[in-house]
Amino acid sequence: MSILIDERSRVVVQGITGREGMVRTKLMVEYGTNVVAGVTPGKKGEEVFGVPVFDTVEEAWEEAGPLDVSVIFVPAPFVKNAAIEAIDAGVKLLVIIPDRVPLYDVLEIDALARRKNVRFVGPNTLGLISPGKAVVGMIGGKADTAKEWFHPGPVGVISRSGGITSAISYYLTRAGVGLSTVVHVGGDPIIGLPFPELLKEFERDPETKAVVMFGEIGTSQEEMAAELIKAGEFTKPLVAFIGGAAAKSGTRFSHAGAIIEGGKGTHRGKVESLRSAGAIVVDTFNELFTVTPEIVGRV
């Protein structure tokens, strides 16, 4: 199985006629994702790679049928309105690709999403992929690459870095480990689905046998994941690597969500929390690809 998306997920692309929207729609359609509609105000009647375009998400729902997932490719200042439009139309999962979305806009999206029982991935995310079923966003870049780098299997992947998300998946595949769902959670300080929420999803998926996690300094996602394990809410093997071992307080590492301040979010604290909870935390990135096959072989 998989989490969040599969071959049945009905996807709408907001901002489909923009440069990024068109390129990524091509990726999704050629991969086999069930993209049923696109939205750009004033562009109704056009098509992008065979996908009909509508003026609003509500109109797309009425004419193309129910929509499960919206992937948003609009400029950052317009993300809030696009997200609210999708939520109000009834979409239950948003994938917010752009970076530099204003923090207060994200807080408003989060508040509305909670009230309407809606989930979102991102902002500042490459998206997610359930190999052999669907890709939503820009993971893989091209359909052929996504098919080559991401093979179906029993291991979930969650990562705070876009580039590392792809690297982990590629090297796990080369090591003979297939993947259930791969999620780049997003690089901002506030995101819709942090590690603990995704671990709960993988816990419920009977075909996911283990999870590989790439964490970083900054924020508390990794510590929260450790608490989840201690509470018995995630019981499957978790193999983790935490980036930023040499970073000191005040250091900004890669992106906005990875910064140490006030002694919180440190590499040491994250590693100790996860190990004390029973997670397998490796010391080098390459160990992920030797340890994980061994773990999968035992479960």
Task: State pTM to two decimals.
Answer: 0.94
Residues 41 and 56: beta-carbon distance below 8 Å: yes
pLDDT tens by residue, 98-123: 999 999 999 999 999 999 999 999 99
CATH number at residue 1: 3.40.50.720
3 within domain boundaries? yes
Closest to 221 measured CA to CA, from 242, 237, 203: 242
User: What's the domain range around 196?
Assistant: 151-299
Do 50 and 172 have their domain in common? no
Do 121 and 156 have their domain in common? no
Do 119 and 163 have their domain in common? no
Question: Residues with Cβ < 8 Å from 150, sequence gap 6 or more?
Answer: 129, 131, 135, 139, 140, 169, 173, 179, 182
142 within domain boundaries? no
pLDDT of residue 1: 80
136 within domain boundaries? no
Do 119 and 169 have their domain in common? no
Closest to 129 measured CA to CA, from 95, 86, 85, 88: 95
pLDDT of residue 153: 97
Residues 244 and 216: beta-carbon distance below 8 Å: yes
161 within domain boundaries? yes
pLDDT of residue 111: 98
pLDDT of residue 97: 98
Do 173 and 83 have their domain in common? no
- Indicate which residue of 151, 184, 255, 267 is catalytic: 255
Q: What is the pLDDT along the chain (299 residues), one digit of tens a residue?
A: 899 999 999 999 999 999 999 999 999 999 999 999 999 999 999 999 999 999 999 999 999 999 999 999 999 999 999 999 999 999 999 999 999 999 999 999 999 999 999 999 999 999 999 999 999 999 999 999 999 999 999 999 999 999 999 999 999 999 999 999 999 999 998 999 999 999 999 999 999 999 999 999 888 899 999 999 999 999 999 999 999 776 555 555 555 444 554 556 789 999 999 999 999 999 999 999 999 999 998 87
How far is residue 198's CA from residue 165's CA, in Å, rounded to a whole number?
15
Give catalytic status of residue 255 as yes or no: yes
| Count: domains in the chain | 2
Residues 121 and 11: beta-carbon distance below 8 Å: no
Residues 106 and 124: beta-carbon distance below 8 Å: no
130 within domain boundaries? no
Do 7 and 79 have their domain in common? yes
